[in-house]
Structures are given as structure tokens and as C-alpha cells.
Chain A
Amino acid sequence: MGQTLLEREEEHPQEIVDERDGRAIVIMDSARWVDGRNTGTDVVVPASYIGVLPARMVAIHRPRGVIGHDACVGKDGAGIGGLWYLEALGIPAATADGMTAEMGNGRDLYESGVLSHVNYPAERCGLRPGMSVREAAFLLRDVDSSDVEVGNKIRREIVEEHPSGRRIVVTDSIVWALPEDEKVSVLVTAGHTGRSGAKFLLEADPYAFICHDGGMSKNRSGITGLDTTAAVGLPGACIDGNTAPIGDAFRAWDEGRISAANEPALALGVEIGMSVADAARRLLADRP
């Protein structure tokens, strides 16, 4: 068998659009053109989808940061799967919304693209969905991602407080509940509500909770924790897996909808189809 086209290709057209302190922002039409010139120093902006395949080709050259195209995400999230590959290697990466930039056009991606998805190292550098690709590229060039180790990435934020001192806490997993959440916090988390999740919920004993429905699953096992918690009077509801990705409580807070709730939560006014934020507020309110 002969050499593949990739192996035979010698030209890697790149264009430097900005440079400072030896660090460049480099635009190109394809991720295949990232090479040894970019190692360690450059933020590369290729107008490729950031699937696992392009991520493998980019990762071996270890650029400083990567911003690509999400190809409208697509089946199995294959348009953005490379973000998680790069995250594991400590490389900050993001994608632009597929409808804001042309595929295969690096300059258009740089000039018109708006971010849709970011990995955790990129988030640490200050990148957020909705930011322009240009602004994001400057941040990746100028900010050091301090966290490049494999390990836990704990996100936790108090998003609303009640005059009583109770509050709504958004954190990606129930395992990050703190002792001070007991009987005080409405926890909005994003793991599933199956039997292993229920065990953590009973231990955490929050004022109320919202977890993910885990795509419901066989025998509706993704939400069995609703019954377990109802038995001890703990109100809780589940996030519809088709409205917010499992594992991301912050997107659930912003975009998620409720797919199921237990009796104590229904009694407090939580309804199926309601936004996660509205449901959390009803769970936070004073109880009769």
C-alpha cells in the first residue's frame, strides 16, 4: 500500500494574524496543517471540525491552544469530541458555532466565528460560549491555563440566595455537596438520578435537588432516585437529557427543562416541562 495523501502532503499553508512575545495566533483552513512550528507557542485557529480525528493530528504538535469549528455538533457530538481529547492532554480548546463561520475558511472563522463549546482548560483561560473567536484567541495567547493536570475539575457557584439563608447551588456532581448544603441548599447537579446517585443524595441531605435523568434508561433506572428520596420526604426533580448535556449543571441551569419530579417536589409546584431555573426557585421557596 502506498502513502496516504496526508503523508505525501508537504504544503501546510498557515497565516499569522497577530504575534506577541514569541506567541502567534495562526489561522489556517485545515487542522491537518498544524505542525511543529506551532508547538508550545501558538494558538492555532483551523476551520476544521474538532472531532477526535483532527484532535489526534493537532495534539502531537502540542500547540498552546486550539479554536476550530463545531460542524453543528452532529451525531454523537462527533463535531466537538476532540475538545475532550485535547482537555485530557491539558490543551485549551474551543469550537465556533457552525452557523457563524464557513467550514474550511480559516480567515472567516477568525473574523466572524462565535464560540459554541469550550473545554475545561479553555474555560480556565476565560473562554465562554458566545465570545468571538478573535477575543478567545487573544485570551488563549495571553492567559496561562494554570490547571493542566489530570484530575478533578470542581465547579460550584451559588446562583441565588433566599432571605432565609437558603440558596441555589449549581455544581456539576452531587459528590461535590458540602456539609453546609445539608437542609440549606437546593443543589442543581448533572449526574444521573439512578440508585448510585440516590445514595449520595441521601448522604448530602440538601433542602431539595435537581439532577439529570441520564436519558431515563432501562426500567427508567436513570430516575429511580426520585422514589428513594421521596420516601424520606426529600423533594427532587430531573433534567431532561435532551435539553442539557449530562455532567454540565451550568448548562442545565441556563437551558435545561424538567422531565420528571417526585411527589414532594410536585407538591411544591414543580411541573414537567418547566425550566430548571424555575423549578429550582419553587424548590427554594418557603414550605407550608
Chain B
Amino acid sequence: MTDPADLQTVVHASERGRVVALDSAYDVRPVNRDRDVAVNASYAGVLPARFIAQQRPRAAIGVDCGIGLDGAGIAGLWYLEALGIPAAAADVATVELGNGVAMHEAARISRVNAVALDLGVVPGQSVREAALLLLETDPPPPAAASEVTHRTVMETAPSGRSIVCTDSIAFGLPEDAGRNVLCTAGHTGRSAVPYLRQVAPWGFICSDGGGGRDRSGTAGLAIVEADGLAGASVDANTARMGDGLSTYEDGVISACNAGAAARGVVVGMSAREAAGRLLGDVPAP
């Protein structure tokens, strides 16, 4: 079915459009505009994304190329997200680079942008299944920035307290005060302090922001200790900033304050375990 003129192999077709397999992102064509899902065996970086965006296909799936230095293998996902184009990247270990048809048959998704996530595309899914979802589902109207919170309750203890993931401490709710352990994904520097004080969660885990000069990315831990708040930070090299679920699922604790230490949190512990300990009662003095 390959048309030698346009280097596209149609691997699925419906009334809404087609899933086309391409060896390269450069092979996306005007014919794909607003209609087709372009499964391409290029890396999902900014450079290929510029080419893809020019043609505005319905959606695109590229390859993460191991993500690599500076996240350059997937940076195009964020470029396409800004333009409202759903996009995902496939795990490089499941893909033969430069072979679009094989990628469609065998590869699995590793990273998605927020638009694709809204359509049900998730890491671990097959590229084949993801491409069908992208073809057959209409994106919801674009959300306001403050609505993209990914708030998820992970666990609720008999005490009624919960572990809640949300992408930023600024997305804290009144009901979190004195009750929930929030796993968020901004840094724990001084600008986080007013938010931590206002939300006043039962416990919190944020990012260490990569450390920063003079450990400024965790400077807030000691400051809010005086307010009686128990909290910790995860190493930004272990969990993605801006992704609260990643803080909980991937994070490793790099710093914590005395309140968190009193509940059993230690540096080097997984964030998942630390969140569980923060959920507990304050030990008697």
C-alpha cells in the first residue's frame, strides 16, 4: 500500500481519517492535515515537531530515542501540545528507528503530552492502540492552564487522610488543610513557602528543583518547619518536575524537614514510602 510518491503506508482507515506509518517525520504531507494520525519513526524532538506542526496532522507518534540529554528526544511533545496537537513518543527499546510500519506493529508508548492524555493515550499502551484512540476520539475543548492539575487520590487511610498527587502546590484545595499528604512537582524554594502555608497540608512532598544554587530548591523545608508542616523533597533527576504522579511513583527523597523525619522519612527513601509514612500520626514527643 506504500505510495512511492509520498512514502506513506496506510495501516488503518476509517471515515474520520487514516493511521499512516512513515519512516520519517519529514514524510508528513499536507494531505494529512486535520485528518490523519502520523506514526513516524523519527525522534520526537523539537526539530521534527516543527515539520509536523507545519502540516498539522490530527495527531503524531514519534520515538523517544532514550529521551537523552536535556530530554531532547521528547521535547517536541511540548511544542505540539502548545498547538493543540495530541502527540506521544514510543519507547526506543521497542522500536526500530526509521521503520514506521514495524513501529506501528510492535512499539509501546513511553511519554504523552497533555492533549494525548486527554484522549486516553497512556504510557505502556501499544502504538497501534494509541493511534486508533487518537484517530477515533475528539479532543475535549482546551483546558485553562489552572485546570490541568492531574489531581489523583492515591490512597486513603482509615484516619480519613489521603495521599493526593497534583502537579503544583498552587493546586492545593481547602479540603487538603490538615488532612492530606500532597505529592506535587514544583520546587521547594522560598516562593513555594506562601503556598505551603496557605494550603497547610498534613504532609507534603515537592521537587528539589535540581538543588539550585545554595540548595535554594529545598530552602522552604526548614522555613515551614516552624509552621509545624512536615515535608520532603524528591531529587529532580528521579522524578519529572510538573508531574505530581511522577513525584509519587518515580521520586527518591533528597531532603526532608524535622517534621517529616519525626514520622520516619529519611533521605534515599522512595517517595511512595515517604508519603505513606507522612500519612501517619504525629509521634508523641
Interface residues in chain A, defined as those with a beta carbon under 8 Å from any beta carbon in chain B: 1-7, 9, 29-30, 32, 47-49, 51-57, 59-60, 69-89, 98-105, 108, 112, 117, 120, 150-153, 172-173, 175, 190-192, 194-199, 214-219, 221-222, 224-225, 241-248
Contact = CB atoms under 8 A, between A and B. Distances in A.
A216 B66 contact: yes
Nearest to B84: A88
Contact of B98 (A57, A102, A194): A194
A104 B41 CA distance: 39
B78 A85 contact: yes
Contacts of A74: 207, 210, 236-237, 240-241
Contact of A49 (B26, B175, B187, B199): B187
Interface residues of B, number: 91
A196 B50 contact: no
Interface stretch (B28-36, B131-139, B140-148, B264-272): B140-148
B69 A6 contact: no
Interface of B: 23-24, 26, 41-43, 45-51, 53-54, 63-76, 78-83, 92-99, 111, 113-114, 144-146, 148-149, 167-175, 185-187, 189-192, 195, 198-199, 207, 209-214, 216-217, 219-220, 236-243, 246, 250
A56 B73 CA distance: 21
Nearest to B93: A218
Contact of B173 (A1, A60, A73, A108): A1
Given A84-B78, A103-B216, 15 more contacts: A4-B149, A53-B148, A53-B167, A60-B145, A76-B74, A79-B209, A81-B75, A98-B209, A98-B210, A101-B212, A103-B212, A172-B47, A221-B96, A221-B99, A247-B45
Contacts of B41: 194, 196
Contacts of B185: 53
A85 B81 contact: yes
29 contacts: A4-B171, A6-B146, A9-B170, A49-B241, A51-B241, A53-B186, A55-B78, A57-B145, A71-B236, A72-B209, A75-B241, A75-B250, A77-B70, A80-B70, A98-B209, A99-B213, A103-B216, A104-B190, A120-B46, A152-B51, A191-B47, A214-B63, A214-B65, A215-B73, A217-B92, A217-B95, A225-B98, A245-B45, A247-B48
Most chain A CB within 10 A, of B78, B92, B216, is at B78
Contact of B45 (A57, A71, A246): A246
Contacts of B170: 4-6, 9, 32
Contacts of A102: 189-190, 212-214, 216, 219
A245 B69 CA distance: 5
A85 B98 contact: no
Nearest to A46: B191
A197 B212 CA distance: 39
Given A5-B170, A79-B241, A194-B98, A150 B81 contact: no
Given A55-B78, A196-B24, A241-B68, A87 B46 contact: yes
A78 B71 contact: yes
A242 B69 contact: yes
A96 B120 CA distance: 35
What are the 10 closest A-B residue pairs judged by CB atoms, nearest first?
A77-B71, A72-B210, A215-B66, A245-B72, A194-B98, A194-B97, A104-B189, A104-B191, A103-B189, A74-B236
Contacts of A190: 47
Contacts of B175: 1-2
Contact of A84 (B46, B65, B149): B46
Contact of B70 (A56, A87, A150, A245): A245
A88 B83 contact: yes
A195 B148 CA distance: 38
Contacts of B171: 4-6
A83 B74 CA distance: 13
B248 to A, nearest CB: 14
B43 A98 contact: no
